[in-house]
Amino acid sequence: MSLVICILCITAFFVLLVGFLKEMWSANFALVAVLINAGISSYMAFNAVTGQSYQEIISGGSIFGDIPIRIDALSGWFILMMNFTVLTGILYGRRYMKLYENKSGAIQLHFIGFIINHFSMIGIFCVQNSLAFLYVWEVMALSSFILIIFEYKKPETLKAGINYLIQSHICILFITVGLIWVSSRTNSYDFNAIGQYSASVSPALSSLLFLIFFIGFAIKAGFVPFHTWLPYAHPVAPSHVSGVMSGVMIKLGIFGILRMLLLVNQNYLSIGYFILIVSLISGVYGVILAIVQHDLKKLLAYHSIENIGIIGMGIGLGAIGIGIQNPYLAFAGFAGALLHTLNHSLFKSLLFYGAGTIYQAIHTLNIDSMGGLIKKMPQTAILFLIAAMAISGLPPFNGFVSEFLIYQGFFEGIHLGSILLTTVLIISIVALVLIGGLALLCFTKAFGIIFLGQERKEFDHEVHEAETSKLLPGYLVVLFILIIGLFPQMFVKLLINPVRLFTGSLDVASPILMMTDSLQSISLVAWSFLLAIAGIAVIKLFVSQNRQTVVSPTWGCGYVAPNSRMQYTASSYVRTYRKLIGPLLLMNKREVAIEGVFSSPIHSETHPYDKVEATFIDVPLKFLYAILARVRFLQTGNVRHYILYGVLFIFIIVTFSLLNVAWVYLVDLLKQI
């Protein structure tokens, strides 16, 4: 029996098992299902990454035709990355969902959704038949919709879920248009037909084809301006789902773009510039908005957009490298992008798990009502801190390594090409630096306000650390973050095969050597850094052995009754920044002016909103409403009318096809005359 059928059967079996047995077992069954599926697919994926691609053709009957299942190095890399995050996700999720047991009837459905979602993601990475691909993509979209609306009784959850459902179908629409276009011209559903077709048509047409695919996949990945579903869907989903969504599900879009880059034949240079500039805007815009968010999960969601931007910058750089036939740029770009895909899935899922643990401890996600949690939840705090430093791209953690690869490409490219290339690269460098700096501002705010200082709000329940089994997946992720951060040279070796797919005939041996060399130095310096910290700590311990250590209140400038409300808040921490960046933001502020000498208490509220969303989503929606309002009279609510509409529709279709036959007949007649 082939492995694909095997995975399919396992999935079906466990879905039934979860569906028909007791609710309390469903989490463990889901874990077993994910473990088995992940094990089988990782085995094939690892072989693919190390050089042995897997290929199998299963027969899909008369509708699908032959369905090729191909796992090449690119699919392999993504499958490995996805399996790890889904695994930590279910490990975390089974503890996270404990609190909802016997309170909500949806737990079984949720875990069924999780198993199917994992299965469909494996499918997306390896199915190479257009029609079958659209099917698994649709299964993925629907199952993730079910995962998001777990708390469907809350109106905002349902609203965000429907927003996600609609936007993910717009994404499917674009992909469908692209795939149907190719298959209608080539009469083949095989992905290889895309390559053959685009090689046979004019460059403009081929670029248009790529653009259609790019928009489709960009909606999934969350490139600006297609990102608006992300900040709604992530906060309402349960934390392990947000972690998996942000960690791997949006990477399906990245995978799609990379796959199409391989298949669609085009001018790599111009497409590289295009991707680089779109990603640059996404990266900077994402982090600009992330800083002003008050909702922790929304803040993390905007950071996903930023990181997608960084990945895109790598892809753009790589494409430019292929365009100008420079192996160094190509290798740095694609290796950086692929490694950052992995890195982001690690630290982002860890951050979402942390957010979930905080949410279950204090039942709010508003950063301004947190504070001082490090004393109550020290382990969560350390995990969050490591993830926060990793996402800010700081050494010795993994985020730095991938950004460093991209930086190397940028700096190497500066003196290579034309003035256009040099200018674009220097702008990209500035953008990447700004992203790094802004991320630092954002995560010092997030970590500092959430975990440090004093409690900003009294909670009427006791806040305590999560149990070990809930923290365990976090520690697993941290292990990988540290391994990548401290031994980056190992991962470059794993990246060679996936990157070779893109570089093709270019000789990447020397860039690999140079990269490994500089990453070895990075590893050495990172270790020396840790050694230096330890050394100073030892000296400090030695020196302050006999010295007196006193604990006393924080310096209050002579004021003796400071309270926790006098601390800096998240809003005040970023106030200067907010003023500076004002024109790019849309802050809905509600404030009452102070009147009189002894004023009554006043309230001030700020709600950050997205300017891109206001322009590109809200305005067209308004027009759409206006148009649709005119045909609203059709919606009577009377069933008989709807049946009438159905009959009319069938009648029109039949008439049209008859007319079509008549038209053909007429044309033939005219031709004969």
Partner 1 sequence: MRGLGLILIVMTSFFFTGIVFRTKSLFAGRKGRGIFQPMKDIWRLFQKGSVYSQTSSFIFRIAPNIYFASIVIAIMLIPFGDQKGVFSFNCDFVFFAYILAVGKFLNIIGALDTGSSFEGMGASREALYSLLAEPAFFILMGSFALLTGYTSFADIFASIHFGSSISYAIGVLASFVLVIIAMIENSRMPVDDPKTHLELTMIHEVMILDNSGFDLGLIFYATNLKFAMYGAIIANLFLTPGKEWYYSVPIFIAVQTLFAIVVGTLESFMARFRMNHNPQFIFTLTSISLLIFLTVLLVAGKIL
- If the CB atoms of residues 411 and 459 are measured against partner 1, the closer one turns out to be 411
Local structure of 55: helix, strand or coil: strand
Task: Report the alpha-carbon distance of residue 222 to residue 391 in Å, rounded.
Answer: 18
Local structure of 449: helix, strand or coil: helix
Task: Report the alpha-carbon distance of residue 370 to residue 373 in Å, rounded.
Answer: 7
Torsion angles phi and psi, residue 56, rounded to 5 = -155, 145
Q: Considering only residues 35, 142, 441, 476, which one is a binding residue for partner 1 as defined by CB under 8 A?
A: 441
* C-alpha dihedral, 35 to 31 to 15 to 146, nearest 10°: -110
Cβ 372 to partner 1 shortest distance, Å: 7
411 binds partner 1 (CB under 8 A): yes
545 binds partner 1 (CB under 8 A): no
Q: Can you say whether the dihedral through the CA atoms of 146, 611, 440, 404 is positive or negative?
A: positive
Stretch binding partner 1 (CB under 8 A), from 216-224, 231-239, 371-379, 618-626: 371-379
* Neighbour tally for 407: CB within 10 Å: 20
Q: Considering only residues 1, 63, 99, 557, which one is a binding residue for partner 1 as defined by CB under 8 A?
A: 557
For residue 294, give the nearest of 565, 569, 568, 591 by alpha carbon: 569
Q: Considering only residues 5, 21, 166, 430, which one is a binding residue for partner 1 as defined by CB under 8 A?
A: 430
Stretch binding partner 1 (CB under 8 A), from 115-123, 514-522, 595-603, 656-664: 514-522
Cβ 226 to partner 1 shortest distance, Å: 27
123 binds partner 1 (CB under 8 A): no
369 binds partner 1 (CB under 8 A): no
Contacts of 362 (CB under 8 A, 6+ apart): 369, 370, 373, 459, 463
84 binds partner 1 (CB under 8 A): no
Alpha helices in 100-227 (DSSP H): 107-126, 130-148, 155-186, 192-200, 203-221
Stretch binding partner 1 (CB under 8 A), from 162-170, 468-476, 566-574, 608-616: 566-574
- If the CB atoms of residues 458 and 595 are measured against partner 1, the closer one turns out to be 458
Cβ 576 to partner 1 shortest distance, Å: 6
Stretch binding partner 1 (CB under 8 A), from 298-306, 346-354, 547-555, 632-640: 547-555
- If the CB atoms of residues 142 and 434 are measured against partner 1, the closer one turns out to be 434
Cβ 318 to partner 1 shortest distance, Å: 17
- If the CB atoms of residues 99 and 551 are measured against partner 1, the closer one turns out to be 551
Interaction with partner 1 in 569-608: which residues (CB under 8 A)?
Answer: 572-577, 579-580
Q: Considering only residues 187, 418, 505, 604, which one is a binding residue for partner 1 as defined by CB under 8 A?
A: 418
Task: Report the alpha-carbon distance of residue 189 to residue 156 in Å, rounded.
Answer: 40
487 binds partner 1 (CB under 8 A): no
- If the CB atoms of residues 186 and 422 are measured against partner 1, the closer one turns out to be 422
Q: Which amino acid is at 642?
A: Y
Q: Considering only residues 89, 272, 327, 393, which one is a binding residue for partner 1 as defined by CB under 8 A?
A: 393
Q: Considering only residues 8, 109, 173, 434, which one is a binding residue for partner 1 as defined by CB under 8 A?
A: 434
Q: Considering only residues 1, 63, 99, 550, which one is a binding residue for partner 1 as defined by CB under 8 A?
A: 550
* Neighbour tally for 135: CB within 10 Å: 17
Q: Considering only residues 198, 392, 398, 497, which one is a binding residue for partner 1 as defined by CB under 8 A?
A: 392
- If the CB atoms of residues 196 and 518 are measured against partner 1, the closer one turns out to be 518
Q: Considering only residues 188, 422, 489, 606, which one is a binding residue for partner 1 as defined by CB under 8 A?
A: 422
The distance from CA 246 to its chain's CA centroid, rounded to whole angstroms, is 4
* Neighbour tally for 283: CB within 10 Å: 28
Cβ 532 to partner 1 shortest distance, Å: 4
Stretch binding partner 1 (CB under 8 A), from 91-99, 141-149, 544-552, 621-629: 544-552
Is 358 in contact with 377 (CB distance < 8 Å)?
A: yes
Over the range 440-459, which residues count as b (16 or more CB within 10 Å of their CB) and which as e? bbbbebbbbbbbbbebbeee
527 binds partner 1 (CB under 8 A): no
Calculate the alpha carbon distances from 451 to 376, 385, 443, 672 in Å: 9, 9, 11, 84
Cβ 308 to partner 1 shortest distance, Å: 21
Q: Considering only residues 12, 16, 524, 602, which one is a binding residue for partner 1 as defined by CB under 8 A?
A: 524
- If the CB atoms of residues 337 and 438 are measured against partner 1, the closer one turns out to be 438
Task: Report the alpha-carbon distance of residue 125 to residue 54 in Å, rounded.
Answer: 12
219 binds partner 1 (CB under 8 A): no
Calculate the alpha carbon distances from 659 to 651, 655, 663, 671 in Å: 12, 6, 6, 18
Task: Report the alpha-carbon distance of residue 232 to residue 241 in Å, rounded.
Answer: 13
Cβ 575 to partner 1 shortest distance, Å: 7
Q: What's the chain's length in residues?
A: 673
Local structure of 507: helix, strand or coil: coil
* Neighbour tally for 44: CB within 10 Å: 23
Cβ 29 to partner 1 shortest distance, Å: 40
DSSP states of 248-291 as a string? IITHHHHHHHHHHHHHS---HHHHHHHHHHHHHHHHHHHHHHHH
The distance from CA 544 to its chain's CA centroid, rounded to whole angstroms, is 47
Q: Considering only residues 192, 325, 510, 564, which one is a binding residue for partner 1 as defined by CB under 8 A?
A: 564
Stretch binding partner 1 (CB under 8 A), from 346-354, 423-431, 486-494, 651-659: 423-431
Local structure of 237: helix, strand or coil: coil
- Applying CB under 8 A, what is the total number of residues that bind partner 1? 83
Stretch binding partner 1 (CB under 8 A), from 34-42, 297-305, 436-444, 591-599: 436-444
372 binds partner 1 (CB under 8 A): yes
453 binds partner 1 (CB under 8 A): yes
440 half-sphere exposure, CB direction, 13 A CA radius: 10
Is 386 in contact with 397 (CB distance < 8 Å)?
A: yes
- If the CB atoms of residues 504 and 556 are measured against partner 1, the closer one turns out to be 556
- Preceding amide of 225 cis, omega within 30: yes
Q: Considering only residues 404, 480, 491, 502, which one is a binding residue for partner 1 as defined by CB under 8 A?
A: 404
Q: Considering only residues 437, 582, 620, 646, which one is a binding residue for partner 1 as defined by CB under 8 A?
A: 437
444 binds partner 1 (CB under 8 A): yes
Q: Considering only residues 6, 9, 12, 433, which one is a binding residue for partner 1 as defined by CB under 8 A?
A: 433
556 binds partner 1 (CB under 8 A): yes
407 binds partner 1 (CB under 8 A): yes
Cβ 386 to partner 1 shortest distance, Å: 12
Task: Report the alpha-carbon distance of residue 577 to residue 161 in Å, rounded.
Answer: 32
Q: Considering only residues 533, 648, 650, 662, which one is a binding residue for partner 1 as defined by CB under 8 A?
A: 533
347 binds partner 1 (CB under 8 A): no
Stretch binding partner 1 (CB under 8 A), from 34-42, 174-182, 458-466, 559-567: 559-567
Cβ 521 to partner 1 shortest distance, Å: 4
Torsion angles phi and psi, residue 588, rounded to 5 = -85, 110
